[in-house]
Homo-oligomer: A and B are copies of this chain.
Amino acid sequence: MKLTPEARGTFAIAPTPFFEDGRIDFDSIDRLTDFYAEVGCDGVTVLGILGEAPKLEGDESLAVATRFIKRAGRKQVIVGVSAPGFAQMRTLARASMDAGAAAVMIAPPPNLRTDEQITGYFRQATEAIGNDVPWVLQDYPLTLTVVMTPSVIRKIVMDSPSCVMLKHEDWPGLEKITALRGFQKDGSLRPLSILTGNGGLFLDFEMERGADGAMTGYAFPDMLVDVVNLSAAGRRDAAHDLFDAHLPLLRYEQQPGVGLAVRKYLLMRRGLLASMALRAPAVPLTDAARAEVDWLLARLARRDPRAALSPA
């Protein structure tokens, strides 16, 4: 089922599981996919920035996406297709859709600067993948160095009817959600799903500002699901209580660079990944960092029993 602007809930950003020797671990893909479904995720996003997508070859990318899609069944899978050129982007996008993806996700290349360059790029990208492919706009200035104002996002969305969702991870970003929702109220922006990233660091308030849910890779997507649901149900204090309990660990995991290793370590601790291996170039997890994560986990377990994992 294709993604629509009505999408809401929690989409987990999945890592790409590797064995120690760098080969792709397809069994862990299955375990991850099942887990995301069990804890109540509404979908999965694969081959994102943290999915180590640039470290895969073209054939590998499609194989990973396909495995997630097949295993996910009726759950929606979004496939990251950002690429240095439109040829690769188109090939992966169309093959992924043929394999059953719900949508693709596109991030701007880092050399874009002006509003016109940005809107022009996404017009070309839409044309490249084809108007029939629903896509998610990724807005992540901290990592991508491309800054899009609310007006620019509006123009991109209005230029391209097949853009159905914003993966919002500007920082700070709360006012951006408010601005975009304001555009919709004044009629200048059509319906658009907004799921928030940034490791979840502001999920508590993002929901209150009007986000439709979360799309990030925090290793406790079960918490994301709960916060999104509590917030949607208007249970504000309960949402913040749960969120705050996770914040010390979430903050630790959200560090640039080393964050992915933390995440894979946690997913391994949770029994989902056979290995925490990353492909090079990678920032490894030191013993000191691992001990810090274990400490945070132990403290979290006092407030959320799901963090009471069996020893590493």
Query: A residues within 8 Å of B by Cβ?
Result: 52, 54-58, 60, 84-88, 91, 110, 113-117, 120-121, 124, 128, 147-149, 151-152, 171-172, 174-175, 178, 201-202, 204-205, 208-209, 240, 243-244, 247-248, 251-252, 255-259, 279-281, 286, 288-289, 292, 299
Contacts and interface: CB of A to CB of B under 8 A. Distances in A.
A55 B124 CA distance: 13
Contacts of A251: 201-202, 247, 251
A73 to B, nearest CB: 29
A147 B118 CA distance: 12
Chain A interface, DSSP helix/strand/loop, else mixed: helix
Contacts of A86: 55, 279-281
Nearest to A175: B286
B172 A255 contact: yes
Contacts of A209: 288
A175 B247 contact: no
Contacts of A114: 115, 147-149, 152
A234 B299 CA distance: 17
B110 A54 contact: no
B55 A174 contact: no
Given A110-B110, A172-B256, A172-B258, A178 B116 contact: no
